[in-house]
Copies of this chain bind each other. A is one copy, B any other.
Amino acid sequence: MITQTAGHTDIRATNLAAVLGFLRREAPCSRAAIASGTGLNKATVTSIVGDLLERRLVRETQQTQNHVGRPATLLVLDGSAYAAVGLEVSANGLSALAFDTAGDQLLRWHRAGPGADAGPAKTIAALAVLARRAISTVQSSGREVLGITVGVPGLIDRDGVVVLAAGLGWRDVRLRTELTAALGRPDIPVAVDNDANLGALADQLHGPFAGCDNLIHLTGDTGIGAGVIADGRLLRGDLGYAGEIGHLRLVADGPLCGCGRRGCLEALAGLPAILSRSDPAADPDPQVQLEHLIRRAEAGEAAVTKILAEAGTHLGNGIAALVNVLNPAAITLGGSYALLADHLIPSIEQVLSESVITPDAGGCTIAPSAFPRTATTLGAAAHSLISLNSGRLPKLTVNS
Contact = CB atoms under 8 A, between A and B. Distances in A.
A246 B321 CA distance: 11
A9 B1 CA distance: 24
A3 B205 CA distance: 8
A242 interface: yes
A115 interface: no
Interface string A22-53: 00100000000001011111101000000000
Number of identical monomers bound together in the oligomeric complex: 2
Interface string A319-359: 01110111111000000000000000000000000111111
Given A6-B232, A7-B232, A11-B18, A357 B325 contact: no
Interface in A121-177: 155, 163-164
A15 interface: yes
A325 B226 contact: yes
A213 B242 CA distance: 14
Nearest to A389: B3
A386 interface: yes
Interface stretch (A86-94, A179-187, A233-241, A303-311): A233-241
A272 interface: no
A155 to B, nearest CB: 6
A240 B327 contact: yes
A237 B326 contact: yes
A85 to B, nearest CB: 14
A84 to B, nearest CB: 9
A52 to B, nearest CB: 12
B213 A6 contact: yes
A328 B244 CA distance: 12
Nearest to A9: B21
Interface residues of A, number: 87
A328 B243 CA distance: 11
Contacts of A359: 163
Contacts of A230: 230, 235, 237, 242
Contacts of A155: 357-358
Contacts of A252: 251
A259 interface: yes
B4 A241 contact: no
B245 A324 contact: yes
Specify which of A35, A242, A247, A382 lies most central, judged by the most chain B CB atoms within 10 Å of its CB: A242
Contacts of A243: 325
B386 A4 contact: yes
A363 B239 contact: yes
Specify which of A211, A237, A239 lies most central, judged by the most chain B CB atoms within 10 Å of its CB: A237
Interface in A358-388: 358-359, 362-364, 382, 385-386
A233 B232 contact: no
Contacts of A39: 11-12, 15, 40-41, 44
A119 interface: no
Give the 5 A-B residue pairs with the shortest CB-CB distance, closest first.
Answer: A237-B327, A6-B232, A41-B41, A238-B329, A214-B238
6 contacts: A1-B102, A4-B233, A214-B238, A237-B326, A238-B362, A239-B362
